Amino acid sequence: MSEQDFHGLELLPDLLRPRQLFILLHGLGVDSSDLVPLAHQLQVVYPDAAFLIPEGIAPFDGGVIGRQWYSINGMTEENRHARITSALPALHSLVQHAQDKLSILPTDTALVGFSQGANMALELSAIHDGIVGRVVAFSGRYSKFPEKAPALTTIHLLHGEDDYVIAVDHANAAFDWLTALQGDATIDIASSVGHEIHPALVERAISRLQTCVPLRSWKRALGSEE
């Protein structure tokens, strides 16, 4: 993938064709370098995967160096959903372009986000079901719960119990909503943890990625036995 196609950081395996793709979305007011430690942790477990950490689509307008996926200036609960969804076409194009360039299927793609990046990942999966196989959302929230749970994407919610930026109540409510709709979702809450990608949550995320069998797979297996 050339620099003109992608702005951010790439960690590519030695294989000619990676077997999985992880796209990591950073939070507000930082840049792609912020998620390099997380990428390295995942790379130990998935050495044959490609890791892309794109830059947010606009400069941070909060007065410091960094990037953002969407502006929070003047944002309210009423305009939050429109603000976020207006930024989704760029992310949708980025994901599809990366999959095409690296010859990776959506089922073998994971979208991993922190804070604002997690919000983007959740909203993208709600609108474009199946564009990725997994969403790993650290300290994120929906701006609006989806009317239908994603049928082709598994959602992993990870949150700090003491998060005062995005309250843990959002994660609990999202999990309850998705499970009520019979969606594939997991939740892990770390006590005494704030708004951060805590090692305990990274450990749980890796465990979920390695061991979680989607509900849809169970349903197919049960159906084949009848």
Catalytic sites, residue numbers: 115, 163, 195
Asked if 50 contacts 22 with a C-beta cutoff of 8 angstroms, the reply is: yes
- Alpha carbon of 138 to those of 16, 18, 104, 113, 203: distances in Å? 31, 25, 24, 6, 12
Return the number of other C-beta atoms located less than 10 Å from residue 166's C-beta: 19
The torsion angle over the Cα atoms of residues 186, 149, 214 and 209, rounded to 10 degrees, is: -50
Length of the chain in terms of residues written: 226
CB 155 within 8 A of CB 185: yes
Q: Which residue has the tokens 């410091």?
A: 64
* DSSP assignment string, 62-97: TSSS-EESS--TT--TTTHHHHHHTTHHHHHHHHHH
